[in-house]
Amino acid sequence: MSTRLARMGGGGGGGDQRAGSVSCLVCGRGFGRLEDLRRHVRTHTGEKPYTCPMCTFRAAVMSSVYRHMRTVHNINTRATPSLTPSNLPT
């Protein structure tokens, strides 16, 4: 008698076999193609020229930094905090 827990796997899709699936070594995310993984890995090791001036947060796109600053530091980045102009000619 084999009373196994009947798995309710009535998917019928047939996509369980991960032939040659690769996973990211950084975050563990899986990808079907190596090219996709390579592309993804770049997000970890790729160029991230945009950095948060408040901490060590880095991002590949500026919008990510803006979003980070708003959510983490609660800083409104819409209005760029320009350096207080002390040389106003008026």
Q: Which residues lie near Zn ion (CB under 5 A)?
A: 24, 26-27, 29, 52, 54-55, 57
Whichever of 3 and 80 has its CB closer to Zn ion, that residue is 80
> How far is 70 from 57, CA to CA, in rounded Å?
13
**Contact, 57 vs 72, CB < 8 A?**
yes
Q: At which residue do the structure tokens 């530091």 appear?
A: 73
Closest CB to Zn ion among residues 42, 90 = 42
CB of 78 to Zn ion, least distance (A): 16
Q: How far is the CB of 47 from Zn ion (least distance, A)?
A: 16
Q: How far is the CB of 19 from Zn ion (least distance, A)?
A: 21
User: Is the CB of 11 or the CB of 54 nearer to Zn ion?
Assistant: 54
> Rounded to an integer, what distance in angstroms lies between the CA atom of residue 22 and that of residue 28?
9
53: nearest Cα among 28, 75, 26: 75
